[in-house]
Amino acid sequence: MGTAVTWVNSILPEEKPRHLLGIGDPLDLFDAVENGCDLFDCVAPTRIGRHGTLYTNDGLTHIMNERYADDFGPVTNDCACYTCTNYTAAYLSFLFKAKEMLGATLASIHNLYFIINLVKQMRQAILDDTFETFKEDFLRRYKKY
């Protein structure tokens, strides 16, 4: 994908933004930014959220796993989204197991916040000329299961 995106971006006018559709995975976002993309949109954050999978800095979390049944902390401690600041992982897990629609909504809110915040951090790292270090640090911690 990186080769194709680089090729297409090289023939587009410099003054125009590059909008890449269908890119929602954090690892793909890094590749897209490195290859000159400016904007993204994708259904992945909400799609996987509706099925109980949440993005974290450590990788994907499957909230219906038994370990979350008694986890009365947030889904992840390093997130300031509405879901993580107002609900526990145990409650979110319960919502999914009970097939309550609120669970999918809260997981989608979290995933969208995560992706938007990640792109904000990438943008700041580019401005600070620390993108490569930021990427290495993120990839060292993030595990794609």
Residue range 11-68, pLDDT digits in tens: 888 888 888 888 888 999 999 999 888 888 899 999 999 999 999 999 999 999 999 9
| Domain contains 2 | no
User: Is position 11 within any domain?
Assistant: no
Given this model, what pLDDT does residue 144 score? 67
Q: Which two tokens stand for residue 97?
A: 């197991």
Total of domains in the chain: 1
C-alpha 107/C-alpha 89 separation (Å) is 10
> What is residue 67's DSSP assignment?
G
In this structure, the number of other CB atoms found within 10 A of the CB of residue 77 comes to 9
d(CA 4, CA 102): 39
User: Does this model's pTM top 0.85?
Assistant: yes
The 8-class DSSP code of residue 143 comes to B
142 in any annotated domain? no
Residue 118 lies in a domain: yes
Angle between helices 26-34 and 131-141 (to 10 degrees): 160
pLDDT band of 145, cuts 50, 70, 90: low
Q: Which domain holds residue 96?
A: 20-137
Closest C-alpha among 11, 13, 49, 5 to residue 29: 5
